[in-house]
Amino acid sequence: MRLRLVILASAGLAGCAMNRQSDANRVGPTARACVIEDYDRKWIDRALGVWGQVTLPALKLEPAPMPLLIFFDRACEYRVVSISDSALRVSAAFDSRAYDQVIALPNGARFSPEPLALTSQAQTDSSPFVTMALAPIWRENPRWISERDWPLFLRRSLVHELTHTRQLPVMGRHLNDVRAELHLGSIDDDIVQEHWGTSDAFRASVKRETYLLFAAATTRDSAERRAFARDAIHLIQARRDIFFAGELAPWATLEQIFLDMEGVAQWAAFETVRRETRGSARYAMKSVRDASYWSQEEGLALYLVLDALVPDWQKRMFSAAPPTSLALLQAALAVPVGATIGQR
């Protein structure tokens, strides 16, 4: 699926205030037409419950106020204005309004409805927010015609984005710094793939690195896991030494930030599926993997290995000064640190 983390090129990343006028207070036919479907209401409520009861414990995070959540279909957008949490269920209340062809986001972006889930920061106060398509938009796209469990698909996608909202207050500053250093405009998590994916050597190395990391994550032999992981780290170092040398060195930092952000979010989705369904790691991995997107695929592999080798990594990665996943793995495996590893 297309999950996106977007940092816009603007003087300040910040947002607009949520309009808390309820549907009941609106007038005219538009308000009556914008009623969220019961199907979507149910999976959103379930996802918010799963976030608090399953994902936060997996990430070892304390509860925090929910960020702005904006859902949309082909005609209307639905902003969550309140969430009640009883002993029986979590229930969201929505402010609904029609839009005219394009959706305006708190970061200043405007886009036509498409199947995506997106996290960014608002224009006025840098607060994170999530925008996500509702079920009908996903279902009409032939890319996901084989999907069998739509509620789980949508829940884990929202979990992925909510994880980003807990990362952005710290990581967003790092992204802006390196974006400015490289003189880039707006960026998202596909930036390295888009800029370097035309190189056969670069693309082949990323594919091999990812393969080795997944091999390390899935083997039951601890010595083999460490050997696979070391080989993957050496390949990453070698690729960065070749392609990100000299004035291009900030690309290593940018790549690593997105690997860490996407890796944590994909791991959160993986762990949520595994715990919520009580299924196997193989089933959870199959549910969340998508080889089309490098940062998500290699990032997930990194964090599956990290989870196997570095206890309590969550506390460190959600700290005020997080290390990189690669640095933690290098320390655990006694691998020398390369010059272009992308330290923060």
Cα dihedral 176→327→268→283 (10° resolution)? 130
Neighbours of 290 (CB within 10 A): 12
Hey, is 322 helix, strand or coil? coil
What DSSP assignment string belongs to 254-294?
A: HHHHHHHHHHHHHHHHHHHHHHHHT--HHHHHHHH--TT-H
Question: What percent of the chain is modeled with pLDDT above 90?
Answer: 78
Over residues 317-337, mean pLDDT: 92
197-234 pLDDT, tens digit each: 999 999 999 999 999 999 999 999 999 999 999 999 99
138-196 pLDDT, tens digit each: 999 888 888 889 999 999 999 999 999 999 999 989 998 999 999 998 888 899 999 99
pTM score, whole prediction:
0.88
